[in-house]
Amino acid sequence: MTPSETFVIENLRLYFRTHQGPVQAVDGVNLTLGRGRTIVVVGESGCGKSSLGRAILRLLPRNVQTYSGSVWLNGIDVMTLTEEQFRQQVRWTRLAWVPQGAMNALNPVIGIGDQIAEALLVHQQADTPLSARRAVEEGVGQVGVPLDFLDRYPFELSGGMRQRLVLAMALITHPDVIVLDEPTSALDVLTQANIMNVLKTIKRSTDTRFVLITHDIAASSELADDAAVMYAGQFVEVSGADQFYREPLHPYSQALMASVPALRDDKRLAAIPGQPPSLINPPTGCRFANRCPARFSKCSEEPPLFPVEGRLVKCWLYEERSHA
Amino acid sequence: MPNDLLLSIRDLHTWFELRRWGFVRVGFVHAVDGVDFDLHRGEAVAIVGESGCGKSTLAKTILGLHLPRQGEIIFDGRRVRGREDLRWYRSRVGYVQQDPYGALPPFMRVQRILEEPLIINGIGPRDERVRRIRTALEDVKLTPVDDFLARFPHMLSGGQQQRLVIARAMILQPQLIVADEPVSMLDASVRVEILQLLRGLQERYGLSVIYITHDLSTVRYFCERVCVMYGGLIIERAPIADLLRTPRHPYTQALLAAIPDPDPENAHRMRDVPSGEPPSLLHPPAACRFHPRCPAFMPGICDVHVPKDFEPSPGQHVLCWLYDDTGLVAPRPAGRA
């Protein structure tokens, strides 16, 4: 049913068990990503976007209550694999992950070069330490880090350098999909621009797919082919980047865009009133309804994702346009 | 109007001593290395820079939390030096911290958090204190007040915590607020709310505000003037509109060019980023501190002579030899765009 070139997520759910009841962190997410494309997932903190990243990679905490759905990669549903098969065949070899705060993700007592080589050796992509070393040198050159850094330890490097090395680590196995969770949010403006340049270069020269998870809408536009807006565990809008940044459709996307300060034009900033809903007992109906300026009687029922001119919007306002 | 001046900083240096084995002095980190700065009453000034440029140290020195090694702070016409001065000074200056959760004591209720500074400064009786606490909470829109008085910080959302931090900074009715990255830990949607709140309070009470941030794009919504810091120095000072229209210092230009706006075109172009890293403040580069990374580096000038303060357009000050119109050191035409 799935062409082997695409990466498809169907109805992915991840609920956590708590004393107050299940937290519906990821609640029925669908996503399709073609070869060489990048989708950005934007949303406020607590909307479930990092949980989505972890759910894709199956990096789960112990208190998982529900974990279901399908993740199709190269024609197989990796959700059906056992944990050991997933570890051997998928994680890091096909699906790699750059964690949040990646610059603190390096092991402080192992040299940089050895850490990156470890991934290759564990996943049998290099037979000898020497050939691993050669591959590491190539990969590190790709992210623009001088080779003499390979013999250093993480504390000797700046945040931007460490971030690039973690990126090199994710790229070293030539995965099909890389999930980047807030790759630049802890970095300075110049360093951030630098990392984005590196990512753009990699994106152009390989056909790796990226899932970029971020709360920084301005920075997300640096890499996006497609954009998805997440709210309360669900995608409320999925759209091509060109249309999304120019004219977001969902009232939440519009409010989010209006809250982003712009350096170059004189727009008025507007905050979004109210709080995101609790994911323990999310409201029935549209989850954004009680903060929404455009709400009407229909919003007490849950809207489906309406297709509107090649985009998807989870809002009753677009019911008619989707039939037209 | 000299009387208009609230805070004046002259030649301020804050250095941190680095020792090895506890007693061998290795050197000094020149976190703030010669800053002059004036702040008028009712004015909001931003200090912008990357991490490690010394902006937080400058803020803490202004607050009297670090002692300057050299230089002076003159507040409201009075030089701040000894213990007595500091006591007087601190009750007139409010501090809004970066991380609201870390800045609030987790075991105190909202009422207690706000009452503490009043007790310490001998403000009473109790009714008066309660009245001021209620006003402060209303000012930051933590209403209805009675719902919040008995809560602990962990029972508040991030935005509400930051409002409480602002209320605490305001409770002594200060003349100056120093806000160190007040919104960098918050979501975009909440960020706007907090900035608008601060701006509203600033206008209502005629407060002066020093807004420390790394994010230039929020500055235009909040401040009239901006200072750009690099390597422990203020390298450019200008009204915000001028700085955004014509940034003068090559570093400011690079900083502005690196900030994205939400625009799908971004994905199709690379950004110009100067190579290299911010300088070590232990051994800062000689002369101009940006010269090892500068695209307009002039050998023999920028690495030899310390740049002076030039004013290429009225109100816009820049430490860069490109704007030398005296021709003494750098015989080049001024006013490079």
Single-letter residue type at B280: S
Which helix (H) or strand (E) covers residue A30, if one does? strand A23-33
Q: Do A189 and B188 touch (CB under 8 A)?
A: no
DSSP structure class, residue A176: S
Residue B216 pLDDT: 87
**Spans of all domains in chain A:** 7-94+175-272, 106-174
- Report pLDDT digits (tens) over B162-213: 999 999 999 999 999 999 989 888 887 788 889 999 999 999 999 999 999 9
Alpha helix stretches (DSSP H) within A240-291: 241-246, 251-258
Distance CA B142, CA B148 (A): 7
Q: Chain A within 8 Å of B262 (Cβ-Cβ)? A: yes
pLDDT at B124 over 60: yes
- Report pLDDT digits (tens) over B3-51: 689 999 999 999 998 888 878 888 899 999 999 999 999 999 999 988 8
Please name the member of B158, B189, B267 whose beta carbon is closest to the beta carbon of A241. Answer: B267
Going by C-alpha positions, the residue among A198, A160, A156, A193 that lies closest to residue A178 is: A198
Q: Chain A within 8 Å of B267 (Cβ-Cβ)? A: yes
Mean pLDDT of chain B: 89
Identify whether the C-beta of residue B171 lies closer than 8 Å to the C-beta of residue B132.
Answer: yes
CB-based burial label for B211 (10 Å; 0-12, 13-18, 19+):
buried
Single-letter residue type at B164: L
Residue A1 pLDDT: 45
State the CATH class of domain A7-94+175-272: alpha beta
Distance CA B13, CA B152 (A): 39
Distance CA A265, CA A268 (A): 9
Q: Look at the alpha carbons of B266, B270, B274, B278 in this order and tell me if their dihedral is positive or negative.
A: positive
Q: Chain A within 8 Å of B260 (Cβ-Cβ)? A: yes
Of A94-103, A267-276, A291-300, the range with the highest mean pLDDT is A291-300
Residue B8 pLDDT: 93
Surface of B (191-250) touching A: CB under 8 A: 191-193, 195-196, 214-218, 220-221, 244
Q: Look at the alpha carbons of A121, A125, A128, A130 in this order and tell me if their dihedral is positive or negative.
A: negative
Which residue of chain B is at minimal alpha-carbon distance from A226?
Answer: B264
Identify whether the C-beta of residue B329 lies closer than 8 Å to the C-beta of residue B305.
Answer: yes
Residue B183 pLDDT: 87
Which helix (H) or strand (E) covers residue B241, if one does? helix B240-245
Identify whether the C-beta of residue A140 lies closer than 8 Å to the C-beta of residue A165.
Answer: yes
Which residue of chain B is at minimal alpha-carbon distance from A187?
Answer: B51
Single-letter residue type at B269: R
Residue B327 pLDDT: 63
Confidence of residue A306 (pLDDT cuts 50, 70, 90): very high
Edge-to-edge strands, sheet with B225-230:
B93-96, B176-180, B208-213, B44-48, B225-230, B233-239, B316-319, B309-313
Distance CA B59, CA B66 (A): 9
Surface of B (37-66) touching A: CB under 8 A: 50-51
Confidence of residue A274 (pLDDT cuts 50, 70, 90): confident
